[in-house]
């Protein structure tokens, strides 16, 4: 029987891959929401709807920026993990662990916040159409 060791760095790498897939999904979903907003704007134009449409559009743009920032931070962290692995480190240092935990919290926030925005947007569209 072989005893294989999975390090914290291995786990970080796995989480980074998972987060990258999630961010790709959120980016696609956000593009879909922006497209849906534009389709509705083509058919329904009144001042109240335009004002709220602009607010949703701004929130979608903010989400895109946040997703891009997270992707950048995850890529930096992944480079750090690879360098640590090459240097034969098994355990991340305290700074790396703190950064990883911060990223985990930001991903959790994005998941919750994105779902809330998407639900608010869909409920609003149903109420005005």
The full set of domain ranges for the chain reads: 8-128
Question: pLDDT of 14-40, one tens digit each?
Answer: 999 999 999 999 999 999 999 999 999
Mean pLDDT rounded to a whole number for the chain:
88
pTM: 0.85
State the residue for tokens 């534009």.
38
CATH 2.60.450 applies to domain 8-128:
no
């Amino acid at each position: 029987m072989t005893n294989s060791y999975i390090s914290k760095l291995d786990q970080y790498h796995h989480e980074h891959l998972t987060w990258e897939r999630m961010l790709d999904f959120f980016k696609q979903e956000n593009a879909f929401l922006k497209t849906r907003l534009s389709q509705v704007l083509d058919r329904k134009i009144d001042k109240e709807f335009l004002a709220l449409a602009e607010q949703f559009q701004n929130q979608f743009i903010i989400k895109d920026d946040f997703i891009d920032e997270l992707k950048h931070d995850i890529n930096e962290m992944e480079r750090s993990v690879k360098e640590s692995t090459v240097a034969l480190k098994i355990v991340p240092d305290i700074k790396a662990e703190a950064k990883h935990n911060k990223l985990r919290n930001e991903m959790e926030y994005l998941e919750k916040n994105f779902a809330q925005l998407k639900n608010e947007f869909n409920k609003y569209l149903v109420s005005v159409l």
